Amino acid sequence: MVKSGAVESGFLLLGVAIQGCLCCVPPHLIFIIADDQGYGDVGYHGSDVHTLVLDQLAGEGVKLENYYVQPICSPSRSQLMTGWYQIHTGLHHSIIQAHQPLCLPPDAPTLTEQLQEASYNTHMVGEWHLGFCRPGYLPTGHSFHSFLGSLTGRGDHFSYQSCDQAEAYGFDLHDGERLEMSSNCSTTLYIKRVQKILRAHDPRKPLFLYLALQTVHTPLQAPNHFLRRYSTLDNRPRRHYAAMLSCVDEGVGELVQELRTRGLYQNSVLVYSSDNGGQPLSGGCNWPLRGEKGTYWEGGVQAVGFVHSPLLKRKGKVSKALIHVSDWYPTVLSLAGAPEKGRGQLDGHNVEADSRTLALNSFSIWDTAVRPAIRAEYWKLLTENVGDEDWVPPRPCPGAPAVAGHGATLGPEGEVCVALQHHR
């Protein structure tokens, strides 16, 4: 095991550095992922939703303002866990449906497997959505010491009933490999489990905690006291969505407070991320980005993300470095002092040392069409059906070909069609 007090590692591309804790224990790593949170759905991006905790954590850490994920759920999560694009894991088709015998490749070294080998205690709370057709494909089969949560991605937040077509209907709340009964709101339930894990954890041992919240994915449900905060919002989906996000914000605050209480905070690194863009028809907002979940436009793939840690040498920074969800795999292992093991070269880059110039987004729903989007430095290439646009764009280019290049130098408003100018 590499002693964190013996080295100084840095998020060099973030413009900051992580300094080792004198306690000589590798840092406790907390990764929080929110389901379907839109780029515009956080206070520091100008949202009407109250996210005071997230705003404070991001403001005291590093805001990732050039951070990309996949346009839908399972591909983003698989890349976090393996460091590979989904074309290498067989999960490029779409999300994993409950009736499909699909999963992470059993021979793929996962993030948690390697952290566990580096003496980390590994725990998962929340939504898995990476396959469950065999017991070995569950979170506990992928080196999580414990798991509480759902295996699919669209369950009721209070009853935990899940319906994925007629052949896949049932109860979806599991504690390890057994069913767990509860009537608590999913966010409340998951935060309580997180608190229990933190209270039982020995600060002298490194911890990896993966909190994969079901919120703010539909169905739009929230405790009444959060709904009352937004009684003046006329749009019902937006009101419920905002209440769910406030519940997330409060829960993250409780998690951080528990870290402080248990003496874990000073030696911790917390990463917050959404898994894809928001869905405007379900209350989400990606403004000022174009597009939504399931599209290759910026609103579908540019995510809310930040890093917060007392170990940061320089705080309150904004990073414009190009970072992709697959980068967390090698970066987290580097922070933990754990060696990388894998089949061939990773798609993810260690943001401590490597400069990424290209990011790939790709998935195909129910067909074999090649439909990737590639971001390369200041250019973005979109191919085939890139998905619906969700804001009125600048004047379109009539007669543009199926392959279109989009300049990304001016930010969201600069995502304009330049295919006709450069097409030969």
> Could you list the active site residues?
73, 129
Q: How far apart are the first and last CA of the chain?
A: 55
The two three-digit tokens of residue 182, written as one number: 């509860």
Helix (H) or strand (E) holding 213: strand 207-213
Answer yes or no: are the C-beta atoms of 183 and 204 closer than 8 Å. Answer: no
Amino acid letter for position 68: Y
- As to burial, measured by CB atoms within 10 angstroms (0-12 exposed, 13-18 middle, 19+ buried), residue 237 is middle
- b/e per residue, 218-232, with b = 16+ CB within 10 A? bebbbbeebbeebee
Instruction: Give, in order, the Cα–Cα distances in Å from 99 to each of 78, 159, 319, 343, 365.
Output: 18, 20, 40, 29, 16
- What DSSP element (H or E) covers 38? none
What is the DSSP code (8-state) at residue 366?
S
Residue 348 CA to residue 320 CA, distance in Å, equals: 17
- The CA distance from 330 to 77, in Å, is 15
For residues 322 and 356, the answer to whether their CB atoms sit within 8 Å is: yes
Amino acid at 218: T
Mapping DSSP onto H, E and C, the string for 237-249 reads HHHHHHHHHHHHH
In sequence order, the 6+-apart residues with CB closer than 8 A to the CB of 78 are 84, 86, 89, 91, 104, 130
Q: Return the bridge partners of 375, or none.
A: 359, 380
